[in-house]
Structure 1
Amino acid sequence: MERPRFRLYFLHPRFWPLWLGVGLLWLVAQLPYAVLLRLGRVLGTFMRWFASERREIVARNLELCFPQLTAAERARLLRDNFASSGIALFEMAMSWWWPQTRLKKLAHIEGLEHLRQAQAEGQGVILMAAHFTTLEIGATLLGQRHTIDGMYREHANPLFDFIQRNGRERINLDASAIERDDVRGMLKVLRAGRAIWYAPDQDYGRKQSIFVPLFGIPAATVTATTKFARLGKARVVPFTQQRLKDGSGYRLVIHPPLESFPGESEEADCLRINHWVEQVISACPEQYLWAHRRFKTRPNKDDPKLYPKRIRRRKRTPRN
């Protein structure tokens, strides 16, 4: 995709509320890191109070994935998860607008040698990640040390899309954004010996998925990781990030490449991936993106739904 460019159209009054919101967020993001963490927790509390639909999804996912926890333990985990989601807003702002010198102080990176070795050998890398609330800051901090490309879905609001892409690409100047459905673009990048961030832990429907257990529940799991690794002749390198509890920043770990991947079947590969997803979530459950309906697609169309129906607001019709 070509680099985002500013358009005079973005000055139209319809975008003024967004400009105002972005400007306020930029100002707040200049505060010290410790203050932003506290503000994020407060914001997360408000989100938990008022975002009832999202709260129901998070609570349901925690109930499905951690049935061994007591109701009180899951309630505490839900509170911590909303606090993490609130902090994520300011982490996004930090990623987009903080000076690189300020960002570097927060990065504690391990395992860069795995990416550098693959690069030296001209080997493409699928940087296999998961959707944690820290994904924006994690990708930015890693991007300061090694070029990584990313899967991308264009935002419906063109101004926000412009701001978002500028923020994400300001550090990785030679990185490329690849549309999520652009398989050819993905393979081209991998065959060129580059590393691309990719997360296979969400429900994209049954069309390109198979059902394998995740936390003991049949989950629609994409087989694309296997296809990309085989056709792109790439290594699959797990990547994790975690916000440190002592407020000193973030621990980013590039793990050794998966051995014997792809395996003997797509099903075996998906089982292996979901097992890894379970491990990394269980290590830091409060920072995972639980607001996604991970189990919305059921193996059989007659299977009972695991989530409450979405409340669809009716559009108001203008009165004559």
Structure 2
Amino acid sequence: MWLGLALVRLLNLLPLSFQLACGRMLGRIAYRFSRRARHVAAVNIAMCLPTLTTEERTRLLRQHFESLGCALLETGLVWWASDARMRKLIRIEGIEHLQTALAKGRGALLLSAHFTTLEIGARALTLLGPTSIMYLTPRNALIAELSRRGRSRHTVQAISSEQIRDLLQNLRNNLPVWYAPDQRFTDKNSALVPLFGHPAASNIATSRLARISGAVVLPFFPERRADDTGYTVRIHPPIENFPSDDPIADTRRFHEMIEEHTRTVPAQYLWAYKRFQQSGTAVDPYRT
């Protein structure tokens, strides 16, 4: 693990185009040897994008693993690159929506999703001013600690997923908080909400957080530019009439935005994740 981190750190010193070329090479290696992840991603692509031909699905699957390899090296950029370097690589659109939201004095909930550019998106917000992020603690203890340190280096607070009170306090302090609740979720604030036309166990607490805090909810999506010159991050206008009286409908509206962005940059969505697995049921689309 330490050797791998040292390699990432060294590669981060090189131009971005070279880093991404190395990342794609790592992704091609992972594609060959990560049979389980390859199977999960293939099932997800077939379920979510059924109109693709077999050839198109195979090509997208390979491109996705290349994107995963890029994400590995981008994590090093997020942890160690200077703000000056990141500003040269990241173009942010829709800053006015964040400024308008913060002018109301109740913070802003930057609602994002699990694309391979997820870490880049979170770091991009810190270039605009004091920002907090909420994250899920990795299982590997070393990666968990390094992630906490790397994220804390550039944020007001890196909030673990169990620290809901801290998230609300940051919003009360009129800070933007990066929040990506779109992973498989089976806790008390969960429900089956369609995603790409399939039921997905989802976190529906975003509506409740918005109602309690009064924060403006801004959808927020990053993407890796095709020419390898950097990243484009788009902060969208606030979701209208959000939150409503129906948290499931609110979650479905956000899912539709995820679907739209996925179709724009399909290789960058996190396909190698068991999003449609439902705990405690016989439903398991990933069973071989």
Report the TM range for the smaller structure's normalisation.
over 0.9
Change (3 A) 1:246 1:193: same
Residues 206, 297 of structure 1: 8 Å contact kept: no
Which residue pairs with 1:130 in the alignment? 113
Cα distance in 2 for partners of 1:265, 1:154 equals 29
Q: Distance in 1 between matches of 2:38 and 2:78?
A: 26
Corresponding residue for 1:231?
A: 212
Aligned equivalent of 2:281: 301
Q: Does 1:213 align with 2:194?
A: yes
2:262: which partner in 1? 281
**2:258 pairs with 1:291:** no
Secondary structure of the corresponding residue to residue 105 of structure 1: helix
Task: Determine whether 1:253 maps to 2:234.
Answer: yes
In structure 2, relative to structure 1, the CA distance for the partners of 1:202 and 1:159 (3 Å cut) is closer
1:60-79 equivalences under 5 Å are 60-79=43-62
- TM-score in terms of structure 1 length: 0.85
Change (3 A) 1:59 1:122: same
Deviations 1:45-104 (A, max 9, x none): 000000000000000000100111111111111011000000111111112122222221
Which region of structure 1 is more displaced relative to structure 2, 109-118 or 149-158?
149-158
CA distance 1:213–1:48, change in 2 (3 Å): same
1-side partners of 2:273 and 2:234: how far apart? 24
Residue 21 of structure 1: CA displacement? 3.0
Q: Mapping of 1:139-158 within 5 angstroms?
A: 139-158=122-141
Alpha-carbon shift at residue 121 of structure 1 (Å): 2.2
C-alpha distance in structure 2 between counterparts of 1:37 and 1:153, whole Å: 25
* Cross-structure match for 1:20: 3
Query: What does residue 264 of structure 1 align with?
Result: 245
Contact preservation (8 Å) 2:151, 2:158 = no
Secondary structure, counterpart of 2:239 in structure 1: coil
SS in 1 for 2:241: coil
On the 8 A contact 1:152/1:177 being kept in 2, the answer is: yes
Alpha-carbon distance change, 31 to 253 in structure 1, aligned in 2, over 3 angstroms: same
C-alpha distance in 1 between matches for 2:251 and 2:102: 26
The answer as to whether partners of 1:142 and 1:252 remain within 8 angstroms in 2 is no
Q: In 2, Cα distance between the equivalents of 1:276 and 1:168?
A: 26
% identity of equivalent residues: 42
Does 181-190 or 90-99 show the bigger shift?
181-190
Secondary structure of 2:42 counterpart: helix
1:188 aligns with 2:169: yes
Q: Deviation of residue 170 (structure 1)?
A: 2.2
Higher alpha-carbon deviation: 83-92 or 272-281: 272-281
How far off its partner does 1:20 sit? Answer: 3.2
**1:99-118 paired onto structure 2 within 5 Å:** 99-118=82-101
Shift of 1:176: 0.9
1:35 aligned partner, one-letter code? F
User: What CA distance in whole angstroms lies between the structure 2 residues aligned with 1:191 and 1:128?
Assistant: 17
Q: Distance in 2 between matches of 1:163 and 1:297?
A: 31
Picking from 178, 192, 207, the partner of 1:197 is: 178
| Mapped partners of 1:129, 1:244: distance in 2 | 18
Number of residues of Structure 1 aligned to a counterpart in Structure 2: 288
> C-alpha separation between the residues in 2 aligned to 1:169 and 1:178?
9
Q: How many Å separate the matches in 2 of 1:48 and 1:157?
A: 22
Equivalent AA in structure 2 for residue 24 of structure 1 = L
CA distance in 2, matches of 1:210, 1:238: 21
**Mapped contact 1:241–1:251 kept (Cα < 8 A):** yes
Task: Name structure 2 gaps, 5 residues minimum.
Answer: none
Gap regions ≥5 residues in structure 1 = 1-17, 310-320
